[in-house]
Amino acid sequence: MPILIDGHNLIGHLATLSLQEADDEERLVRLLASYRARTGRAITVVFDPGEAFALPQVWRYGGIEVVFAPPGSSADAVIIRRVARSRNPRDWLVVTSDRELAETVAQQGARVRSAAEFAIELDVHHDTPSGWKETPPAPEEVEWWLRLFEDRD
């Protein structure tokens, strides 16, 4: 059963990610690629369109199909269209905690799992301790590394 994920909705339920991070989408896709490698499940993640710059609408990473809703649309609209156009909507598992989206795709026949439940499964299988966030090196550490490599000429 393929999984169709409301990307920003899921990010908001993960302890290891934040919607405030510039690379939140990329980090989610990497996490999903790791999950896919373990489970073999087909996964499509859909994000709302970006505001600052235009990204390709569809791309792949680690077997994950990544879709950005076109400008003027939303991830919810893309997910609803995909389920509606499916030959067998019951084949889809939609991951979202958006009630309106969940009700709409459930009425179309798709199964729904809350983002909170799916986030727990991702965190349980993730190798990084829960709550861990990568922090940039301190400025003095950056300077030390720069000096180390500059002296190698």
- For the stretch 35-79, pLDDT in tens is 888 888 999 999 998 664 455 577 788 889 999 998 888 999 999
- For the stretch 76-89, pLDDT in tens is 999 999 999 999 99
Provide CATH code, domain 3-150: 3.40.50
Mean pLDDT of 94-114: 96
* pLDDT surpassing 60 at residue 151: no
Q: Where are the chain's structural domains?
A: 3-150
Q: Within a 13 Å sphere around the CA of 13, how many CA atoms are in the beta-carbon half?
A: 21
Mean of the per-residue pLDDT values for the chain? 83
What pLDDT, on the 0 to 100 scale, is given for residue 103? 97
Among 74, 72, 61, 70, which residue's Cα sits nearest to residue 25? 61
Helix, strand, coil % over all residues of the chain, rounded to 5: 45, 15, 40
